[in-house]
Amino acid sequence: MRWQWISLGLFLLSATAHAGVGVAFDDPFFTDSGLPQQPGQAWQGVPKQLPALPEPQSWSAALAGKTWTLPELSSWALAHNPQTAAAWEGLRAQAAALGMADSAWLPSLTLSTSASRRQAVSTAGFSVPARNSVMPSLSLSYTLWDFGLRAAKTDAAQAQEWVAGYTQNQTLQTVIFNVTQAYYKLLGNQALLAADAKTVAENQKALEAAEVLHRAGQATIGDLYQARASLATAQSTYAAQEQTVRSSQGTLASDLGLPTNSVIHIAALTADSSSPGQLRQGVDSLMHAAESANPALQQARAQVAVANANIHSARAQGLPSLGVTGSYGYQFQGGFQPGDTWSVGLTLTVPLFTGFNNHYAVRQAEATARQDADTLAATRNSTMASIWQDYHGFQGDLAAYPGASSSLANARKAREVVLAQYKVGQATIQDVLQAESTLAQSRYTLIANLVNSYVALAQLSQAVGMPVGAKQP
């Protein structure tokens, strides 16, 4: 009767569920309860166990007041930027994966214990007394021969560790380049802010000169208005540049792994600062060096090695394997004398037919290897193109520097001459304002040239794959 009631209950439950009666049978765990009622509505769920957001590392008051150099900032970023830590942990994880692959070369030893209480009925209908039994056992298994499957997996894991290593190196160079780029951007924006301050002061002097001449009846009210408008424009440009400097500071702080509101003191760049020196190597030498130094290129080469090892692994999966197994156990059973059990044997596994699974696994591995080889060729082409472009871009900035420096020197002298002429009535206010505009533009051009040349050098170093701490190419 018990089984009849259970069967009847299961039948009614199944019939009710298929009939769609009752929401509980359609969603017994109420998984739809927190979902939007219709498309287009935002999900309002509140996860209970999300990890807390990490806080960025802040530096001490002594470090905050220090004037930092680019090498010091780069060292700080390598030690505190989360990207470098993540890349390092990824390399460690892949090293552990190599250890897992190497473990296949050792035997597997397992200790297990089973405990049970059993009661049975004899064929005559009499109940046999319940018996307790405990049986600890020790099992050993070892693969003797697998036609290179373990070796292929070990090779793949080793090559994958190379990929992770080159990925870490690429991350280090990316962090250093980002810090370098943000450093020079902040340096340039601070120099532009100083240049804007000079422009404001020069426009203030021009306005004062116009006011003096206007009171003396030697300048029109129009001259006065033009000088005031020029000063207002210079002041608004200065105010906007202040915010640009704050934005650049936030970018550099983020690349360093610091809060974006951190204040970073660096040495000032002036219009009299020198440009980078000439390169010691030609573009062909740099391209040749990149073939063995660029981490992205080496990562692509290591990925090809991974793909080739996976081909051998896929082929070995379809071949026979031979292993040895052994076990030993000791059984304790109530009512009987304890006894030991053991076994030793060989296991030959021959995959006769797997539904063409191995065949397609080999095809997939071979196609992946060809794809990785094509990716390697594309990576090499893009790397060489980057070196070519960055090299000639840097040379162009160097070639433009003397002209920009000469233009600034001449603009300074022209502004002094025109202002002196204006004070004695030999020049107009338009001449003064034009000279000041030319001087401001010359400052901007020279500062931009300096910043661009250093950034271009950093780009070239990254494209070549200069190791961390190496000197310029």
Single out the residue of 439, 426, 448, 63 nearest to residue 256, CA to CA. 63
Mean pLDDT of 266-275: 77
| Assigned token pair, 347 | 């296991």
> What is the pLDDT, as a whole number, of residue 7?
64
Q: How confident is the model at residue 122 (pLDDT cuts 50, 70, 90)?
A: low
Q: How confident is the model at residue 4 (pLDDT cuts 50, 70, 90)?
A: low
pLDDT for 472 beyond 50? no
What is the distance between the terminal CA atoms of the chain, rounded to a whole angstrom? 91
pLDDT for 434 beyond 70? yes
Residues 441 and 128: their CA atoms lie apart, in Å, by 106
Q: How far is CA 24 from the centre of its chain?
A: 46
DSSP-derived secondary structure letter, 127: B
Interval 214-256: pLDDT, tens: 888 887 888 889 889 999 999 999 999 999 999 999 999 999 9
Q: How confident is the model at residue 16 (pLDDT cuts 50, 70, 90)?
A: low
Q: CA 190, 192, 198: angle at the middle one, nearest 5?
A: 110
> What is the pLDDT, as a whole number, of residue 11?
60
Residues 62 and 68: their CA atoms lie apart, in Å, by 12
The residue that leads in pLDDT, 334 or 288, is 288
The residue that leads in pLDDT, 162 or 46, is 162
pLDDT for 306 beyond 90? yes
The residue that leads in pLDDT, 469 or 218, is 218
Q: How confident is the model at residue 473 (pLDDT cuts 50, 70, 90)?
A: very low
> What is the pLDDT, as a whole number, of residue 337?
79
The mean predicted confidence, pLDDT, of the chain is 87
- Tally the C-alpha atoms within 13 A of residue 162's C-alpha that lie toward its C-beta: 18
DSSP-derived secondary structure letter, 121: B
> What is the pLDDT, as a whole number, of residue 8?
60
Residues 186 and 61: their CA atoms lie apart, in Å, by 21
Q: How far is CA 56 from the centre of its chain?
A: 17
3-state secondary structure 370-420: HHHHHHHHHHHHHHHHHHHHHHHHHHHHHHHHHHHHHHHHHHHHHHHHHHH
Phi, psi of 59 (to 5 degrees): -100, 165
Q: How confident is the model at residue 469 (pLDDT cuts 50, 70, 90)?
A: very low
The ranges assigned to domains in the chain are 61-108+151-308+377-464
| pLDDT-wise least confident of 8-17, 149-158, 258-267, 454-463 | 8-17
Q: How confident is the model at residue 468 (pLDDT cuts 50, 70, 90)?
A: very low
pLDDT for 76 beyond 70? yes
Interval 166-180: pLDDT, tens: 999 999 999 999 999
Interval 86-118: pLDDT, tens: 999 999 999 999 999 999 999 999 999 888 887
Interval 178-211: pLDDT, tens: 999 999 999 999 999 999 999 999 899 888 888 8
Specify the CATH superfamily of domain 61-108+151-308+377-464.
Outer membrane efflux proteins (OEP) (1.20.1600.10)
> What is the pLDDT, as a whole number, of residue 37?
85
Residues 139 and 142: their CA atoms lie apart, in Å, by 10
DSSP-derived secondary structure letter, 263: -
Helix (H) or strand (E) holding 108: strand 108-118
Q: How confident is the model at residue 25 (pLDDT cuts 50, 70, 90)?
A: low
